[in-house]
Structure 1
Amino acid sequence: MDFTNPLVYGVPCFLGLILVELAYSKHSKKAKKKQLYFWKDFAASMTMGIGSAILAPLTKTIAAIVLFNFVYEFFNPIVGGIRMNIMGYESFGYAWYIWLSCQFLDDFSYYWFHRQNHNIRFLWAAHVVHHSSQNFNLGTAVRNGWFTVLYKPFFYMWIPAIGFPPEMLVVCLGIEALWQFQLHTVYVPKLGFIEKIMNTHTMHQVHHAQNAAYMDKNHGGFLNIFDRIFGTWKELDETIEIKYGVTHAPDSNNPLTILTHEYKDIWRDMKKSTNWYHKFKYAFAAPGWSHDGSTQTIKQQRKRDF
């Protein structure tokens, strides 16, 4: 069964909503105080977004057609005219509750994909692009790294392996991306009861903050249940002024610098020690790790300060 990726319809909506928020932020007296958009930063974000829009279909097509289909076919062969999982049950169809299950498992995978992007420095080097702006707006939502698409599918391979059709997973990934986009705005307040279940706009403001109490929190997609279960959930404290961005920003609006600055920093740090274990840790430990304690991870900082 063939389905259209929701992002085909989502991208024009993205552009339209960005323009609406941009116009509102520049012309509303109340909104102008927030200074949401700065032209050079916005141009850098849009360049990142355009690059992602060009590269993502190519890599996602490979992931969907080659990787996901290969895994699905390998673990769910047709036996006697029926597609069966190697564990002995019939592979899943397209009932509504199967769709909900697939979306839930997609959300679980997104949580761990996103969390590891913050916990493993080599992955952070790709993901930091999204966090590198000191502004939080819908333009920042499309400020995506170009290299995350190379490894993201590997976090989702297990879903077609257990019997969910690859095209169903691709649609769920698209729906997840739609939800993630609209979270990047300061104009939506706390949403009452919804805050107990869903990942909301205020929670995502926390995620994009460089305040020590907020860093590496709220990695969820649709839901906040996995953040709550695994200890990474944090509610927005409206009495604290948020500082967006990262502690080691590229300090540039040059797209190539934004894309590559953390890889250069990793290489620089690896040369600080001749010990190969240290070199490995500089690349794959949490951001901030150092062999001599000259820099610290956010966990080490919290242990020291709180």
Structure 2
Amino acid sequence: MDLSDPLVYGVPCFIAFIILELTYSKVNGDHHIYHWKDLFASGFMGVGSAILGSLLKVVFSIALFTAVYELCNPENAAGIRENLLGYESFGYAWYVWLLCMLGDDFTYYWFHRANHEIRILWAAHIVHHSSDNFNLGTAIRNGWFTLIYKPLFYMWMPALGFPPEMVLVCLGIEALWQFQLHSTYVPKLGIFERFINTHTMHQVHHARNIEYMDKNHGGILNIFDRLFGTWKPLNDEIDIEYGVTHPPNSYNPMVILTHEFSDIWKDVKSAKKFSHALMYIFGPPGWSPDGSTLSVRQQQRLLRKGMEIKAPVQAS
């Protein structure tokens, strides 16, 4: 079945909506929403991500998903699905599409959450959070290294029987929804806030306020954040500060893309134990053996106890 990638049609819309929001913000006097150097840096990384994504997609998504799909149920021999589960494939019925989107959303939640809780993955994902601005331009400010390992999180879907092209379409739909969330001009959406990941919830996700850190990882739905304890609504009494607590302090795209990897390398070289070196790589961002820097959970634990947070932080 030949299915088109929704992002093929989405990219021109991304550009159009960024220009529209930029124009509206300037006409409306909201000059703090967009800054030119920041927008150009985001645009450079967005273009690079689109080009690399197209090239790597053949190897890291299409080939991988197809190989896994066929491996679990090869054409000329009884496979794992047929032997253990009693079917060859889920097919393309409308309800299978809904199940695939749900599976995609579930996977996106854990992929996104892992990017915030494992430092080596955070080094790739921090690019998206590195801007102090929250706008549609920030939506395309994507890290390039996430393109390599993201498909690994989704391998279970073609293995279970979702056709590879269906999984890729659902990934594209998820990306379209994620793009439009990056705007402050959309108010709370009433009853939809109960199950949909909305614009105000994504503002929380991009905040560097301690109480907001590592919240609202969901894609289209917020049910997984609610189920697994990472959901937090926007509090109108809290002034949001966007960005990260350990910013790159540069508009150079190469610095933005690599600065956290450099910091990991410095920490690993300074580690006195092998276990500490591993924690600097695979532990939560901000972790330190002596408490000189704190992880998000450590900061939030102190905040709940009403204690002052004196140690510098390196997470978002």
TM-score range, shorter chain: over 0.9
Give the aligned partner of residue 302 of structure 1.
300
1:71 corresponds to 2:71: no
Give the aligned partner of residue 100 of structure 1.
98
Letter in 2 for 1:18: I
1:12 corresponds to 2:12: yes
Give the aligned partner of residue 244 of structure 2.
246
Q: Indicate if the aligned counterparts of 1:281 and 1:289 stay in contact, CA closer than 8 A.
A: yes
1:187-226 correspondence to structure 2 within 5 Å: 187-226=185-224
1:1-306 correspondence to structure 2 within 5 Å: 1-28=1-28, 32-33=29-30, 35-78=32-75, 85-90=82-87, 91-306=89-304
Secondary structure of the residue that 1:78 maps to in structure 2?
coil
Cα distance in structure 1, aligned partners of 2:82 and 2:150: 24
TM-score by structure 1 length?
0.96
Cα distance in structure 2, aligned partners of 1:6 and 1:168: 11
Letter in 1 for 2:231: W
Cα distance in structure 2, aligned partners of 1:250 and 1:59: 27
1:84-126 Cα offsets, whole Å, 9 max, x none, are: 5442322111000000000000000000000000000000000
User: Which consecutive unaligned segments of at least 5 residues does structure 1 have?
Assistant: none
1:139-163 Cα offsets, whole Å, 9 max, x none, are: 0000000000100000000000000
Cα distance in structure 2, aligned partners of 1:246 and 1:224: 23
1:58-96 Cα offsets, whole Å, 9 max, x none, are: 112213331100100011223689995442322111000
Residues 82 and 248 of structure 1: is their aligned pair in 2 closer, same or farther, counting only changes over 3 Å? closer
Give the aligned partner of residue 307 of structure 2.
none
**Identity rate of aligned residues, in percent?**
62
- The alignment yields a C-alpha RMSD, in angstroms, of 1.5
Letter in 2 for 1:100: L
Residues 97 and 304 of structure 1: is their aligned pair in 2 closer, same or farther, counting only changes over 3 Å? same
Q: Indicate if the aligned counterparts of 1:69 and 1:166 stay in contact, CA closer than 8 A.
A: yes
Cα distance in structure 2, aligned partners of 1:120 and 1:64: 22
Secondary structure of the residue that 1:213 maps to in structure 2?
helix
Letter in 2 for 1:150: I
Structure 1 position 273, deviation (Å):
2.0
Give the aligned partner of residue 314 of structure 2.
none
Q: Indicate if the aligned counterparts of 1:85 and 1:163 stay in contact, CA closer than 8 A.
A: no
Q: Indicate if the aligned counterparts of 1:77 and 1:84 stay in contact, CA closer than 8 A.
A: no
Cα distance in structure 2, aligned partners of 1:273 and 1:18: 44
Q: Indicate if the aligned counterparts of 1:64 and 1:167 stay in contact, CA closer than 8 A.
A: no
Structure 1 position 209, deviation (Å):
0.1
Cα distance in structure 2, aligned partners of 1:229 and 1:201: 20
Residues 80 and 251 of structure 1: is their aligned pair in 2 closer, same or farther, counting only changes over 3 Å? closer
Q: Indicate if the aligned counterparts of 2:71 and 2:79 stay in contact, CA closer than 8 A.
A: no
Cα distance in structure 2, aligned partners of 1:78 and 1:300: 51
Letter in 1 for 2:85: G
